[in-house]
Structure 1
């Protein structure tokens, strides 16, 4: 498999033209921050699962697989040639952005990392229980309630699109290692924040009924689609950083920008469908659990709730009949 090509510049940009082999090859960079964070996330998650199993508690294998898939998606667009060519081509950068903010957060959140941490971390009032108390304090804090509110979450997500690419902030972030790495982490963070409230696999400060979550999801879709269309139809280079691709690659900046816009537009559809499916499935499972809970309670108390309700209905007509006697 060919390597990512000769690297040059402070950001280790590739100079060889892109192909499939170079896109999937490992991308050398000064410090692979996001791959290292993913490795840390895998180790912590594995430790938490091991801790549960050690004391005899189960943890669904599907959640572990989902968490792993999410981490692999992040590594796949930051530790490979995709990460390198995202510094040279707007289309590849947009693919990276969409995966980090729209695709990877879904399996990451389906892994229920907050629930796992709350179950695995030791409880108590001493130093040993401090990490769990801090996590609970954060979940119940005013900061978490404000940040996770639908209005704030959606606004931050849209700001990461329009406020980044249509302002000088994008060129600044792309010009240095620290700014670029912070931008990539921001993409993952805003995606996690948005889908945290939409999926509700983990406890959230603002729980909503599934229909309202689906409405919130569809509110963002037109803004996201218009963002992609703006790049597809623009007659000028919107992202100045990518205005001058390498001449030897024979790729026009405007044509590449339109491809990037098409990628952004397409990603307004796929994650939306995935989230709707997940919300509907979880909604159905929740309804089934509630029905089973009601049935078990009826078996225990002889269905007293239904008997009391029937008695109340029967008593409604008694005063009326007595008044006409």
Structure 2
């Protein structure tokens, strides 16, 4: 929890150093602090002990860490806040890193979709989840994966910060639709007990599937709303027509 508090404090410090529009910056600060609060809620009692004992608690924790908290954190525009707080040379260096090819590949929507949504298939359709339930190190790595992959996906789809490989709105809506479809199908398979490898009572697995289905839908609708809210249409420049030359007056 010290890490979450340190993250919130660092953001507030950078936001104070930077310059921008006060009203917009207040909203961004509120979003980021909300994201930090959601991470804290997921990792503290009563949800954390519930997640260790019940698969439904795990799914609730997964939604908070992997979908709701990342969206709020990303809407805080942390990259923009950091760039404003850094000295000019360091800001240029960071901008160069963000525009590099490796970051471009990482920030591609299909890469983000694979890390955030595709990894759920590996988690629940293989013995991986059962291994994380008995090994604390894997359990915390899973938490980190949920949070980081969720932030990556939210940033690529609807983040106010610039992303190097961000396509147009239609392409991002298509990727978001693919994520919704995978979540829905996986939740239905989980509820029916097909192709799922989760060692938990049937009632818990079905309850977790319902949390995943309905809670995931709400989170994805919020992400779609953020995409629309942060979308800025490209400005079309109308070429100036040359003024007609006046005919020379005859004296």
Q: TM-score range by the shorter chain?
A: 0.7 to 0.9
- 1:307 aligned onto 2:241: yes
Please show how residues 1-325 of structure 1 align to structure 2 within 5 Å: 35-52=1-18, 58=22, 60-124=25-89, 129=90, 132=91, 135-234=94-193, 238-240=197-199, 243=200, 253-283=201-231, 286-287=232-233, 290=235, 305-308=239-242
Figure out how many residues of one structure are paired with residues of the other and give that number. 243
Q: Name the SS of the counterpart of 2:47 in structure 1.
A: helix
Deviation at 1:236, TM superposition (A): 9.4
Provide the TM-score with structure 1 as the length reference.
Answer: 0.69
Q: Conserved in 2, the CA contact under 8 Å of 1:102 and 1:267?
A: no
Distance in 1 between residues matched to 2:43 and 2:173, nearest whole Å? 30
Distance in 2 between residues matched to 1:217 and 1:263, nearest whole Å? 19
Distance in 2 between residues matched to 1:52 and 1:186, nearest whole Å? 30
Distance in 1 between residues matched to 2:135 and 2:81, nearest whole Å? 36
Distance 1:203 1:235, change over 3 A: closer
Distance in 2 between residues matched to 1:70 and 1:254, nearest whole Å? 32
Distance in 1 between residues matched to 2:149 and 2:228, nearest whole Å? 23
Aligned to 2:247: none
Deviations 1:119-157 (A, max 9, x none): 111123xxxx3xx45533431222211111122111112
Runs of 4+ displaced beyond 4 Å:
56-59
Q: Conserved in 2, the CA contact under 8 Å of 1:174 and 1:180?
A: yes
Distance in 2 between residues matched to 1:100 and 1:113, nearest whole Å? 17
For the aligned residue pairs, the C-alpha RMSD in angstroms reads 2.4
Which protein, 1 or 2, shows the higher relative CO under an 8 Å CA cutoff with sep ≥ 6? Answer: 2
Distance 1:52 1:158, change over 3 A: closer
Q: Conserved in 1, the CA contact under 8 Å of 2:35 and 2:72?
A: yes
Deviation at 1:235, TM superposition (A): 7.2
Q: Name the SS of the counterpart of 1:227 in structure 2.
A: helix
Deviation at 1:231, TM superposition (A): 1.4
Q: Conserved in 2, the CA contact under 8 Å of 1:66 and 1:111?
A: yes
Distance in 1 between residues matched to 2:92 and 2:140, nearest whole Å? 30
Distance in 2 between residues matched to 1:214 and 1:167, nearest whole Å? 29
Distance 1:282 1:237, change over 3 A: closer
Deviations 1:101-122 (A, max 9, x none): 1111111100000011011111
Deviation at 1:273, TM superposition (A): 1.4
Provide the TM-score with structure 2 as the length reference.
Answer: 0.88
